[in-house]
Structure 1
Amino acid sequence: MTEQTQKKYELLKDDTVNYRGRTLYRIKALITFGAVVAGELGGYIETEKNLDHSGNAWVGDDAQVYGSARVYGSAEVCGNAEVYGNAWVGDDAQVYGNARVYGSAQVYGNAQVYGSAEVYGNARVKSFAVISERKMIFWATNVGSENGTLTVFNGKDGLIVTRGCFTGTVDEFLSKSKEVHDDKTHHEYKLLIEVAQSRILN
């Protein structure tokens, strides 16, 4: 937080929960921003590093954000959702219900993760993702020429693939892969996409 950034919330030292050996503090809005009104109570965070003071990001209801996790931009974590580990939730993403985001996962763009969904590991969920249960996402790590992470998830208009800086449909990804990768790498991506489709769509 820079010196110019006004604090938008405070930690309530008298409203805490002890969870997994950590003390989490309920937050209270100090100013009105986004859809949050000054004085409104939010969810629980461990430190101010978990929720940026800039932007309209908010942790509401009984949601919990802790560890080195970070919520920023205009993202919202609410309901009984949990974000922890080194996970990031940003931009206009929403995580709610009983969803969990953890590990080094990143949820951003206009993604919605809710229900009983879990996003973890090195998964990258963005764009218009709509994930309400575990089976709606698949990822594989240590793939491609850069040993990165391929993530396939349910979107508003079908499956979305992310890999490095690429985001697009399955057909767009396979077309781009054929264009830029050798036959072996492209074949491996095709197999991984088949597994992802089998798990998500069946």
Structure 2
Amino acid sequence: MKKYEFTDEKIVFDGRTLHRIRALRDFGYVKKGDIGGFIEKESNLSHKRDCWIFGNAQVYGNAKVYDDARVYGNAQIYGNAQVSDYAEVGGASVGDNAKVFDYARIYGNSVIGESVHVYGNAKIYNQAYICCRVNIAGNW
């Protein structure tokens, strides 16, 4: 069962058409009728569990948000990036082949790219820039 639909609102970003989403039912922190962020295609945001894209956040390319992950603010998730489990990305950019999962949090205009994996209870904030092949884990 689908949990969201595209609204009529669209933006063009980096040559891609992104569609604003609207919730079709209650789940997690989201109520039926709530307006979400922007996605390029349905494969960017899973219809399963409680994941959601809030505010003006954007998810595009082959990026995926799933499980119970939350993306908000002016965050951008792109390329082949994945945000999953209970992870949160707020106002940051996650791209390329990066993965953010478990209970990781990324905030504050930080940029995560290439093949970075952020997981556990790790927190990245204050305009951090992390790239290449790095694994960052927080305490369990």
Q: TM-score, normalised by structure 1?
A: 0.66
> In structure 2, which of residues 50, 66, 72 is the aligned counterpart of residue 72 of structure 1?
66
- Identical aligned residues as a percent: 43
Other-structure match for 2:4: 9
1:115 and 2:115 correspond: no
How many residues were matched structurally?
140
Name the amino acid aligned to 2:6. Answer: L
**More strand by percentage:** 2
Q: 1 CA distance for matches of 2:43 and 2:27?
A: 19
Alignment deviations for residues 33-74 of structure 1 (CA, whole Å, 9 cap, x no partner): 001000000000000000000010000100000000000000
The structure with the largest alpha-carbon Rg is 1
Name the amino acid aligned to 1:107. Answer: V
Q: TM-score, normalised by structure 2?
A: 0.94
Give the deviation of 1:116 after TM superposition.
Answer: 1.3
> In structure 2, which of residues 48, 52, 55 is the aligned counterpart of residue 58 of structure 1?
52
Tell whether the 8 Å contact from 2:71 to 2:88 is kept in structure 1 after alignment: yes
Tell whether the 8 Å contact from 1:16 to 1:26 is kept in structure 2 after alignment: yes
Secondary structure of 2:43's partner? helix
Tell whether the 8 Å contact from 2:119 to 2:136 is kept in structure 1 after alignment: no
Secondary structure of 1:42's partner? strand
**More helix by percentage:** 1
Alignment deviations for residues 73-99 of structure 1 (CA, whole Å, 9 cap, x no partner): 0000010000000000000000002x0
